[in-house]
Amino acid sequence: MPRVSTLSIRKMKGVAKVVCTTAYDAAFTQLADAAGVDLIIVGDSLGNTMLGFSSTIPVTVDMMAHHVAAVARARPNALVVADVPFGETARSFERLLDSCIRFVQQSGADAVKIEGGVELADTILRLTRSGIPVMGHIGLLPQRVNQIGGYRRFGKTPEEVAALIADAQAVEKAGAFAIVAEMIAHDAAREVSASVGVPVISIGSGPDCDGCVLVSTDILGLTPGAMPSFAKKYADLGTAAREAFAAYAAEVRSGAFPEKKKTQANESK
Ligand code: KIV
């Protein structure tokens, strides 16, 4: 199967749903890729899911680069997208460009993802003109959680719907190959998807977009604490892992493991 490209994702609009998840290491990348996921985002959800932070805000370019490289080294067929972390788009364009080049050139990402709409269209245009493929992200922007005052749904009023459509169209015009739409009212998300020619990928924005993304730890039952209401758990690996660790601990404490015979056999090798 040929590797997924930004062009092939673009061409899926109106033809097939784009299947997308997050990954942060080689092991889970290989599993998602083998399952046929089209697009893997190394999200700054890394902060909550892997690094023990309570939001995405403390995540830095260095942290992202480390995990993007692990995902890209797994050489997935899926397209690998690196999230641009908090604060980077507010600094100089040169610094942002350096970070994006680092993600693509050194870490091996195929593209970057940027949270923001109309206000970042010029920045996205400069990046795409510099050869950096960009995925947009509109609706709820978790990097602005302190400004918004919490996580909430967008697109509930006609003004918000108009603003979301303007965001999507500005980001598309700036050259984005796809757009993540987070926590947008379902009717509004349908309108947003219909208003642009690139795939709009829903996270908590209902079924009428061009694809879906869920955070991998939610899919796998590995999210510590409560999951977002829109997420769906397809396996309970958290329980399976806890039980495996407990069984291992019990056997070590009782002396049942390591087994004498096995150890001797290995030593003779
Ligand atoms: O950080 C993240 O996981 C995201 C998701 C919307 C993919 O941005």
Coil, helix or strand at residue 82: strand
- Which of the residues 119, 182, 191, 267 is marked catalytic? 182
Q: Which of 21, 40, 44 to mutate to test the pocket of ligand 1 (most atoms within 8 A of CB)?
A: 44
Please write the tens of the pLDDT for every residue from 73-105: 999 999 999 999 999 999 999 999 999 999 999
- The bridge status of strand 200-203 relative to strand 111-115 is unpaired
In DSSP terms, 112 is beta-bridged to: 82, 134
Rounded distance between C-alpha atoms, residue 119 and residue 128, angstroms: 16
Rounded distance between C-alpha atoms, residue 83 and residue 124, angstroms: 13
Give me ligand 1 centre to Cα 41, in Å. 7
Number of Cβ atoms within 10 Å of the Cβ of 13 = 17
Q: What fold, for 6-235?
A: TIM Barrel (3.20.20)
Domain boundaries, the chain: 6-235, 239-269
Q: Is 203's C-beta closer than 6 angstroms to any atom of ligand 1?
A: yes
Q: Is 99's C-beta closer than 6 angstroms to any atom of ligand 1?
A: no
Rounded distance between C-alpha atoms, residue 236 and residue 218, angstroms: 9
Is 182 a known active-site residue? yes
Please write the tens of the pLDDT for every residue from 124-151: 999 999 999 999 999 999 999 888 888 8
Q: Is 43's C-beta closer than 6 angstroms to any atom of ligand 1?
A: yes
Smallest CA separation from ligand 1 atom 1, residue: 43
Give me ligand 1 centre to Cα 23, in Å. 10
Q: pLDDT-derived band of residue 267, with 50, 70 and 90 as boundaries?
A: low
Q: Is 41's C-beta closer than 6 angstroms to any atom of ligand 1?
A: yes
What is the pLDDT at residue 269?
55
Computed over every residue of the chain, the mean pLDDT equals: 95
What is the pLDDT at residue 91?
94
- The DSSP letter of residue 72 is H
Number of Cβ atoms within 10 Å of the Cβ of 34 = 11
Q: pLDDT-derived band of residue 268, with 50, 70 and 90 as boundaries?
A: low
What is the pLDDT at residue 246?
98
Q: Which two tokens stand for residue 155?
A: 């697109």
Number of Cβ atoms within 10 Å of the Cβ of 240 = 13
Nearest residue to 78 (alpha-carbon basis) of 10, 12, 21, 11: 21
In DSSP terms, 21 is beta-bridged to: 40, 214
Q: pLDDT-derived band of residue 217, with 50, 70 and 90 as boundaries?
A: very high
Smallest CA separation from ligand 1 atom 5, residue: 43
Please write the tens of the pLDDT for every residue from 50-78: 999 989 999 999 999 999 999 999 999 99
What is the pLDDT at residue 226?
86
What is the pLDDT at residue 2?
83
Q: How many CA atoms lie within 13 A of 140 on its CB side?
A: 20
